[in-house]
């Protein structure tokens, strides 16, 4: 192995508001050849216990509390204020100065659009294509307080009219910080804020998200699949084999209060329910057909299941589709609604608004997706497409090209 001075230094910075923004950098960091690259991962420590031994340096930096992030999404407020972004930039500049990277790779760390520019270090960002400025998708209304007052149809009309101004409002904190450092403002389109980098890497497969032709610095990575390094629960080998298995997890950013409603819906169905609470308390008095634990290796759980019920976010839905399993997504934030819209277009899943979930609706959808072979066939076709992608290999090629190394 080359010594540290000869290897290229790659600094990953993940924003730990949700688990996905740490898991994806970890997967990609592990894909790099340690003989060629010295890797450092900087992130909040809140998810550290879910990863096995990390074969590279891990440094702790601050991320706002996940509860604060989710509360901002629920209210439709900007996720980051100016003071937070200023503090992020100061901390990033310190760690960049310490590591002296040849390349910085971020996942939802939008302040890197300031810090990397100040030091002149190349910057890659990991994102999803439904946030691309080149996406053809329209924006559905996420769960918002006004839907309870005005109803979804009228609220959607008002949101469509107000959305450009709302997106512009959300860009103000970052643009203000950029101006304070003498950098030009970015577009007043939130999609530009979320995807700004020297190279933008989409953790999706082409075709699932409809886009216009992409510029040369936007690239498809393919799904970045990851499961927590945890032991299977004692009941894993005791699950009944005489009925379909439904895997339920609402993840770190889903509407956790919906889990009892989902379990109530599944209680009287002839299914076995396996549940990962993602660190949240288990519901009191769960039904007899439910087997519950804190975390499960998600890919293995999906492989064993006939249906996955989740928050509609891309990490869990990609696990399901990599196993050829259709999805019901109980979506609350914009990211989840966009992802489920794409899955509905591909006939591999159905989205539910978290504010409209009732047991009867969930029960009817479960029956529909378990009995209709069309969904399973469509999911199985997509599984074949996903198998043809290797996000780690694609990423390693992009890094080598940036640093002008032989692949």
Q: Smallest Cα–Cα separation from 195: which of 138, 123, 137?
A: 123
Task: Retrieve residue 250's tokens.
Answer: 């609402």
Same domain? For 180 and 279 the reply is no
Same domain? For 188 and 298 the reply is no
> Does the pLDDT value for residue 10 go beyond 80?
yes
Q: Smallest Cα–Cα separation from 294: which of 99, 39, 49?
A: 49
Same domain? For 134 and 207 the reply is yes
Residue 224 makes CB contacts below 8 A (sequence gap 6+) with 23, 24, 27, 28, 126, 203, 318, 391
Same domain? For 110 and 259 the reply is no
pTM: 0.93
10 Å CB burial of residue 216 (0-12, 13-18, 19+) is exposed
% of the chain beyond a pLDDT of 70: 94
Residue 309 is assigned to a structural domain of this protein: yes
Residue 169 is assigned to a structural domain of this protein: yes
* Structural domain count of the chain: 2
CATH of the domain at 330: 3.40.50.2000
> Does the pLDDT value for residue 255 go beyond 80?
no
10 Å CB burial of residue 4 (0-12, 13-18, 19+) is exposed
Q: What is the pLDDT of residue 284?
A: 82
Measured distance CA(355)–CA(333) in Å, rounded? 11
The dihedral of CA 398, 338, 80, 45: what is its sign?
negative
Q: Which domain holds residue 109?
A: 8-222+389-402
Confidence of residue 141 (pLDDT cuts 50, 70, 90): confident
Residue 214 is assigned to a structural domain of this protein: yes
% of the chain beyond a pLDDT of 90: 75
Q: What is the pLDDT of residue 252?
A: 61
Residues 104-132: pLDDT tens digits? Answer: 999 999 999 999 999 999 999 999 999 99
Q: What is the pLDDT of residue 144?
A: 65
Relative to beta strand 245-249, strand 199-202 is unpaired
């Amino acid at each position: 192995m080359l010594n540290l001075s000869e290897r290229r230094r790659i600094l990953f910075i993940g924003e730990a508001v949700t688990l996905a923004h740490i898991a994806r950098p970890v997967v990609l960091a592990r894909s790099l050849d340690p003989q060629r690259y010295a890797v450092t991962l900087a992130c909040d420590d809140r998810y550290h216990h879910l990863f096995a031994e990390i074969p590279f340096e891990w440094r702790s930096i601050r991320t706002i509390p996940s509860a604060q992030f989710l509360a901002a999404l629920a209210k439709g407020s900007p996720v980051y204020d100016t003071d937070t972004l200023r503090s992020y930039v100061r901390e990033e500049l310190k760690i960049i100065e310490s590591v002296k990277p040849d390349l910085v790779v971020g996942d939802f760390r939008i302040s890197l659009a300031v810090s990397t520019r100040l030091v002149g270090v190349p910057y890659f960002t990991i994102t999803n294509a439904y946030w691309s400025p080149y996406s053809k998708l329209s924006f559905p209304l996420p769960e918002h307080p006004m839907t309870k007052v005005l109803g979804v149809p009228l609220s959607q009309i008002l949101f469509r009219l107000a959305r450009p101004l709302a997106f512009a409002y959300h860009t103000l904190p970052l643009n203000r910080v950029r101006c304070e450092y003498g950098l030009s403002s970015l577009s007043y389109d939130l999609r530009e804020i979320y995807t700004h980098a020297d190279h933008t890497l989409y953790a999706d497969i082409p075709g699932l998200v409809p886009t216009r032709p992409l510029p040369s610095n936007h690239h498809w990575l393919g799904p970045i699949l990851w499961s927590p390094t945890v032991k299977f629960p004692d009941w894993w080998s005791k699950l009944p084999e005489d009925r379909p298995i439904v895997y339920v997890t609402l993840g770190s950013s889903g509407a956790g209060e919906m889990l009892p409603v989902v379990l109530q819906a599944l209680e009287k169905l002839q299914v076995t329910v396996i549940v990962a609470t993602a660190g949240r308390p288990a519901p009191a008095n769960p039904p007899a057909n439910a087997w519950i634990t804190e975390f499960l290796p998600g890919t293995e759980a999906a492989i064993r299941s006939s249906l996955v019920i989740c928050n509609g976010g891309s990490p869990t839905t990609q696990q399901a589709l990599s196993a050829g399993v259709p999805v019901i997504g109980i979506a609350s934030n914009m990211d989840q609604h966009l992802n489920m819209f794409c899955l509905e277009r591909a006939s591999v899943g159905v989205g539910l608004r978290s504010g409209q979930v009732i047991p009867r609706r969930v029960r009817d959808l479960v029956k529909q997706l378990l009995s209709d072979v069309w969904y399973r066939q469509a999911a199985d076709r997509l599984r074949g497409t996903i198998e043809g992608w290797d996000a780690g290999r694609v990423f390693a090629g992009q890094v080598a090209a940036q640093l002008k190394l032989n692949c």
